[in-house]
Amino acid sequence: MLVYLRLFKESFSFAINALRNNKLRTFLSLLGITIGIFSIIAVLAAVDSLDRDIKEQLSGLDSNTMYLAKFSFGPSNVPRWKRLQFPEVSYNEYKYLKSSLSDAEHVAYQLFVRRETVRYESNTVSSINTVVVSDEFDDIQALQFSKGRFYSESESNTGKPVIVIGDEIANSLFGELEPIGKKVRLYGQKFTVIGVVKKQGSGLFGDSNDISIFLPANYVRNRYGDNNKNMNHIVIIKPKGNADIDELKADVVQKMRARRGLKPDEIDSFFISVISGLQDAIDGIISTLNIIGWIISGFSLLVGGFGIANIMFVSVRERTNLIGIQKSLGAKNRFILFQFLFEAVILSLLGGLIGVIMVWLGSLIANAAIQDFSFVLSFTNIFLGFGLSSLIGLISGVIPAISASRLDPVEAIRTGM
């Protein structure tokens, strides 16, 4: 055992000395592997960070929440011209489903409307994400408030001119003033601020609650009617905790078909999208991004591996005379083999270390430059970087090392001379 430890130590010392004596060559070899490791770790870390942020954004939603609308949230086999003929989900259909779905915990109604401008005295905020919903929306989304509250069922049903605003909207309009009870102007009318949503941060899916306002759906319905072409209607259904999701979905389909009088041979004139399906689609996208990242970075790693192999062949040729002398003095083949293998692996590990450090520095810069997004370099990715660099060094150095270990000492000395 001690013999092998001494062999490793001497081989390691020879490798380090060889790298020190050829600084330019060592630097060029490091550059190739560093770029490769940096590329793959940076891509994987970015994709992991994106995946983590998406899941955090969706964590506040029940994965079984359903969205009933004339359009689909994902790909559809129904032709576009056919989808355009589907009727909007009506307010009466929402009321019908709310009263008849026994397995639904909450059923909410939402109108997708254009962005609006809100004013308070001389302060104005333009192009605001306007969320027009019934009062059940608060129960489904579990909104958190820094001040005030969401509007009640009575305020929602009567379409009372009350408004809930996001954190950034409150700061822009009121600054240090107390926003609750203040009157803001919207749609040419004054709305009373009754709540401020707690700061959320940037949102990956649409706008953040920080730059959104919430209005009772019936206020907009009473003002513009149900047939306005600039509005899309949607019903949000949150199932009970013990409900069978497939059965609830089938129940919604059956009730909607019956209410709309669809014949058995007619297709559904609506779509039901489920959050879990969206999560599956996101997982598929993340997997695809990972594969693409591996493919792109693989080429960089391949170039780095070829660079190390080329340098090692050059190193064997330059030290042929030294190899012959070592073997003539009794050096075993495995000593020569380990000497060059260590040199290749050390080169790769140094390149991997520099690549990981570059990714870490890049993550610090990214986190400082991009607000509300956390770029995280995980231990898994760090371990992967070092593992890949070691593997590349081993593969790139094994053939040159074997060729060096098999040199005939007499021929090696003669060739070197």
Instruction: Choose the final residue of a domain: 269, 299, 332.
Output: 269
H helix runs in 109-207, sequence order: 137-141, 153-158, 167-174
Q: Is residue 70 part of a domain?
A: no
Tell which residue, 216, 235, 110, 99, has the closest CA to residue 156.
Answer: 216
Distance separating alpha carbons of residues 37 and 298, to the nearest angstrom: 9
Count other C-beta atoms under 10 Å from residue 388's C-beta: 21
Q: Are residues 112 and 253 in the same domain?
A: yes
SS3 content of the chain, % helix, strand, coil (to 5): 60, 15, 25
Residue 140 lies in a domain: yes
Q: Are residues 264 and 116 in the same domain?
A: yes
CA neighbor of 143 nearest in space, from 162, 165, 125:
165
Dump pLDDT digits (tens) for 65-81: 889 988 887 777 888 88
d(CA 412, CA 417): 9
212-230 pLDDT, tens digit per residue, is 999 999 999 988 888 887 8
Pairing type for strands 123-133 and 116-120 reads antiparallel
Co-location of 221 and 363 in the same domain: no
In angstroms, what CA-CA distances link 145 with 137, 222, 395, 415? 14, 27, 58, 81
The verdict on residue 78 lying in a domain is no
Question: Of 246, 269, 292, which residue sits at a domain end?
Answer: 269
119 within some domain: yes
Judge contact between 103 and 310, C-beta under 8 A.
no
Q: What single-letter DSSP state applies at residue 209? A: G
How many domains is the chain partitioned into structurally?
Answer: 2
Q: How many CA atoms lie within 13 A of 117 on its CB side?
A: 7
Coil vs helix vs strand at 236: strand
Q: What is the pLDDT of residue 215?
A: 94
**Domain shared by 240 and 311, yes or no:** no
Residue where a domain terminates, one of 235, 269, 303: 269
Task: For 32-56, write each residue's pLDDT tens digit.
Answer: 777 777 777 777 777 777 777 766 6
Identify the CA nearest to 267 among candidates 94, 111, 101, 70. Answer: 70
Residues 241 and 324 in one domain: no
pLDDT in tens, 83-121: 888 888 989 999 999 989 888 889 999 999 888 899 988
In eight-state DSSP terms, residue 231 is -
Q: Are residues 216 and 190 in the same domain?
A: yes
- SS3 of 289-314: HHHHHHHHHHHHHHHHHHHHHHHHHH
pLDDT band at 12 (very low <50, low <70, confident <90, very high): low
Contact 118, 171 (CB under 8 A): no
State yes or no: pLDDT of 248 exceeds 60.
Answer: yes
Q: Closest by alpha carbon to 234, among 113, 328, 332, 388?
A: 113
Residue 276 forms part of a structural domain: no
- pTM higher than the cut 0.75: no
Task: Clarify whether residues 114 and 229 are in a common domain.
Answer: yes
Domain of 251? 87-269
Higher-scoring residue by pLDDT: 312, 271: 271
Residue 21 has pLDDT above 80, yes or no: no
Together in a domain, 125 and 98? yes
Q: Are residues 149 and 177 in the same domain?
A: yes
Please check whether residues 254 and 319 belong to one and the same domain: no
